[in-house]
Amino acid sequence: MNLALFDLDNTLLTSDSDFQWAQFLIEQQVLDREVYEARNLEFYEQYKAGTLDIYQFLSFQLKPLSRHSRIQLNVWHKEFMAKKILPQIAPGAHELINKHMLGGDLCVIITATNRFVTAPIAQALGINNLIATEPDQKNGEFTGQVSGIPCFREGKITRLEIWLNERNLTWLSFLESWFYSDSLNDIPLLNKVTHPVAVDPDATLKSYAKKNNWPIISLR
């Protein structure tokens, strides 16, 4: 058995679902544009630069979830999927996923974006296995806090290894492993797999991939 790992934002999607979710809430006037838009852009630029403080960002991103019922959030998310996400699935995403599924590989989306935002996206992409940052919940409602280790940078490796261990698997369970990502933030996990692949990469990852003779592909 082989392992195929997929980053989500700007890899299988042509945009960032975390950023788009905040923008969607601003457009719905759920969040104040003057207060939130500049901060959302600032965090996104920090992410792209590799300087993001994940805990500061999660405090910003998860707090709005705690202010509304799960029922209302689900209504908004359905509209978010239709308007912001489905049109942004990369043209080559399904073909790449299907190639690995037809090969019998264990396919997993692994993303720093929280599970509330990403679980329906993974479902739309046909991937049942999702490792994401977990928003804390109490009695089915969000508290605005993060639960456990954020699935970000080296945290992706930790979360993946915990996930594998829960299924009585390790890295040694797989003859080969792939990880597809666009981001410099994923270099730690890219270095762990037997087949790292840069997908429409940012400038830092593109340079790193070229230096290490990694494949560079586009799904767009």
Give residue-wise pLDDT tens across range 122-158: 999 999 999 999 999 999 899 999 999 999 999 999 9
53 carries an active-site annotation: no
Domain harbouring 187, CATH code: 3.40.50.1000
The model carries a pTM of: 0.95
CA 46-63-17 angle, to 5 degrees, is 50
Please say whether the beta carbons of 11 and 113 come within 8 A.
Answer: no
Mean pLDDT confidence for 175-193: 98
Query: What is the domain count for the chain?
Result: 1
pLDDT of amino acid 60: 85
Establish whether 105 is a catalytic residue: no
> What's the confidence (pLDDT) of residue 40?
85
Model confidence over 6-29: pLDDT tens digits?
Answer: 999 999 999 999 999 999 999 999
Q: Which domain holds residue 106?
A: 1-220
Question: Please, which pLDDT band fits residue 82 given cuts at 50, 70 and 90?
Answer: very high
* Mean pLDDT for the chain overall: 95
